[in-house]
Structure 1
């Protein structure tokens, strides 16, 4: 399956590039190959509470960045192979194309000037399966799966009047996960947005959309009917307003309704009723709880302030929906804030406090946390980089059981720029403190690497 995705990815890249050939005369073109070679020592590769397994890991990562901009298309491709070799645990080696590829394609076609466009993206990456499970900075094995997301979005944009813009979108999305717990799916969206410039600083918009969400069943999953339970049709209606208070301050607000109609299963909410373990494939009639179609209120208020060219900050409060990798759709409510500084030193700070309700399960997650990353140049060629993260998580799950944990992460590095690339070395520390002793762990990583740029 992965090889088919790999072939599809490059066939799509070549097709999109060939479509841009007629305008090659006025093209901007960049091709940047690079090679990363690294070695690390990891004292707990499986994030175990006891009997930790340590290993030396070699990384070889050839990659290619391809950028092509013409009058017809803007195309950006990042592609690489991240080979990983474990000295003691060779069964974890990632030494094939299927296991090692990472890729991101983004292309925007101007099919009819200022009217008709096509946006295509295809991303192959490794993602977290369940946020409530184990995780760590630098972790490459635990609670992760390879994923491929293809998104095709043709859209029509018209200006029937000088202050009115109408946009009609069709979106096709195809998501695949390597892990059998992941819910593969296809999604079709038709969306109409009408924007009105009310004044020089205020713009209003009305959006309506219809969505068909179609999961693909997997025999390997714990629940044979769980994927079918996710199948739904959905209608959304939203009104929004953007207000540029000053040249530096922007406010945005929106309110909408979502109507979700589940198609195939009358009782899709999972409940661990009965005396069997559903994780072993035992599903009883009493293990499904009745619930009807859903009507949701979705809204948000956000602000952004550009203090200077180098400094910006902002935040907001939003109620949104999204899809998890393995547990279906969730409704998330909460606040977030950010601060960015980019001059000689770079600092990015993010904070959040959210509650996630799982719409097809008896599960609720509360979390809050803060993350900081940046770099501190020492000279023009060398300096330090860092990453700090803290998360406080409270998981209420009727099937897996409740858990509370606090997770800490720290990465400190030193870098030195050279003619052929950048040398880096550093240290990473992770700690998880849980009310379940089996999920308490620490993790130390020491690494050294060299990225050659050609």
Structure 2
């Protein structure tokens, strides 16, 4: 607990330093809010059998603050929460969510950016946790016509949501901190150096704790107006801590090196083709898995709009395992990225299709190399000026190729909600969500239905962000 207090103190200190010169060139924005949520779950511990239901009351005040100037700025959000269980009183706990971004322009072409995200919760459904986190990160709005601040995002840092399975309601916390310096030299040329540190710690003795140290470097270079080259590399030191009395096969500490190279050719203003190559080397201590992954692919990207694109590609990977059978196969890429949602009257939606391979470390379960594919659909419909409904549907398949026996999980997620803006200050929402994990290993199956009621109150005076 002391670590998150130090992180919060550091963020508040930086916030104070930046806010001291409260001159006209600095813009300050504060958004206070209060949320009261009542939630019912029919599988509170996300177990395969012996399921138990419960009612959970969560009270969450939150505060988002941003101060920005011409060359630097800071964005800070903090949301403590109190979770009270109707049946399982031993699960009552305090939740904490802290998000921090800071940026500073050393020169016109050199920029420093910092990122930190801290979470403490007992909620085992990481999909719901990530959805709440994403909503909270975007609390400070940009003014119309204003250039968004140069904040680091989880996607830009290469962070992926934890798709492994967590059971029980023991509290755990995660923290990810990163810094990056970026320098541009000439049109289309840039170089960055970065460092990322993350940790995951559990109060449960049946889960592994982990830490990651990850320096990175990346280069983008335009060879000519139609041909560009990008390269990236990094080193990761992963360490793990497990109680051998409760975990039979703990993850070994490892060193990991990775590098990638991509050549992109623009054939028209909208269409470009690419060829890339990625190599990963993982060296474990002790009896852990050692392997080298080689992956090459070709494909193309079509720009549908300034913020929407479709990428189609095909590749081949080969995993050379030192002690086990090698793995190999095709990788098919079909990614639809839409930052600007499509609209049809009052209906707004977005679609995402993704596939590829990843390494499942530093989460709930450390399952190593895996391939995945999946799709998601999000819809929102404005029924009236005050009433709207939203829904999402997601499917994902993960195949953990280095597990013995090999593990294959199918995840099905669906949800629907109705939001009612009672007044300018108060809003009410009702939601239902379903989550099923169907695995080839029966003990990894789980399912859950949730019903929630959320009452939110805008605490800003005059019902708008406090600016000064």
Q: CA deviation at 1:102?
A: 1.0
CA contact (8 A) 1:432 1:440 kept: yes
Q: CA deviation at 1:37?
A: 0.9
Q: What does 1:202-213 align with in structure 2 at a 5 Å threshold?
A: 202-207=227-232, 209=233, 211=235, 213=237
Task: Tell me what 1:124 maps to.
Answer: 118
Check if 1:56 corresponds to 2:55. Answer: yes
Q: What does 1:290-369 align with in structure 2 at a 5 Å threshold?
A: 291=290, 294-299=291-296, 301=298, 303-308=300-305, 312-316=309-313, 335-338=333-336, 340=338, 341-343=341-343, 344-354=346-356, 365-369=370-374
Q: CA deviation at 1:21?
A: 4.3
Check if 1:185 corresponds to 2:211. Answer: yes
Q: CA deviation at 1:372?
A: 1.5
Give CA deviations for 1:325-368 in whole Å, capped at 9, x if unaligned: xxxxx999553422533445321222334455779x99764543
Task: Tell me what 2:254 maps to.
Answer: 231
Distance (Å, rounded) in 2 between the aligned partners of 1:65 and 1:5: 21
435, 440, 458: which one aligns with 1:453: 458
Q: CA deviation at 1:90?
A: 0.9
Q: What does 1:104-253 align with in structure 2 at a 5 Å threshold?
A: 104-110=99-105, 112-125=106-119, 127=126, 131-133=163-165, 145-153=172-180, 155=181, 157=183, 159=185, 162-163=186-187, 165=189, 167-178=191-202, 181-189=207-215, 191=217, 193=219, 195-207=220-232, 209=233, 211=235, 213-215=237-239, 217-219=241-243, 226=250, 229-232=252-255, 234=257, 236-253=258-275
CA contact (8 A) 2:389 2:417 kept: yes
Consecutive unaligned residues in structure 1, runs of 5 or more: 136-140, 270-290, 322-329
Distance (Å, rounded) in 2 between the aligned partners of 1:74 and 1:408: 40
Change (3 A) 1:174 1:366: closer
Shifted more, 63-72 versus 423-432: the winner is: 423-432
TM-score (norm 2): 0.71
Distance (Å, rounded) in 2 between the aligned partners of 1:449 and 1:226: 40
Change (3 A) 1:93 1:219: same
251, 254, 262: which one aligns with 2:276: 254
Q: What does 1:37-52 align with in structure 2 at a 5 Å threshold?
A: 37-52=36-51
Shifted more, 294-303 versus 218-227: the winner is: 218-227
CA contact (8 A) 2:413 2:434 kept: yes
Q: CA deviation at 1:410?
A: 1.9
Distance (Å, rounded) in 1 between the aligned partners of 2:453 and 2:367: 45
CA contact (8 A) 2:118 2:174 kept: yes
Distance (Å, rounded) in 1 between the aligned partners of 2:89 and 2:375: 36
Task: Tell me what 2:18 maps to.
Answer: 20
CA contact (8 A) 2:430 2:454 kept: yes
Task: Tell me what 2:288 maps to.
Answer: 268
Q: CA deviation at 1:83?
A: 1.9
Task: Tell me what 2:417 maps to.
Answer: 413
Task: Tell me what 2:431 maps to.
Answer: 426
Shifted more, 350-359 versus 84-93: the winner is: 350-359
Q: CA deviation at 1:248?
A: 3.9
What CA RMSD, in Å, does the superposition of the two structures yield over aligned residues?
Answer: 3.9
Give CA deviations for 1:177-226 in whole Å, capped at 9, x if unaligned: 23563443241425262x4323334322344x452515254556867995
CA contact (8 A) 1:253 1:300 kept: yes
CA contact (8 A) 2:218 2:230 kept: no
Check if 1:84 corresponds to 2:92. Answer: no
Q: CA deviation at 1:388?
A: 1.2
Which secondary structure does the structure 2 equivalent of 1:133 belong to? coil
Distance (Å, rounded) in 2 between the aligned partners of 1:256 and 1:364: 14
TM-score (norm 1): 0.73
Alignment: residue pair count: 400
Distance (Å, rounded) in 1 between the aligned partners of 2:61 and 2:216: 39
Q: CA deviation at 1:130?
A: 6.8
CA contact (8 A) 2:293 2:317 kept: no
Change (3 A) 1:402 1:311: closer
Consecutive unaligned residues in structure 2, runs of 5 or more: 128-160, 319-326, 460-468
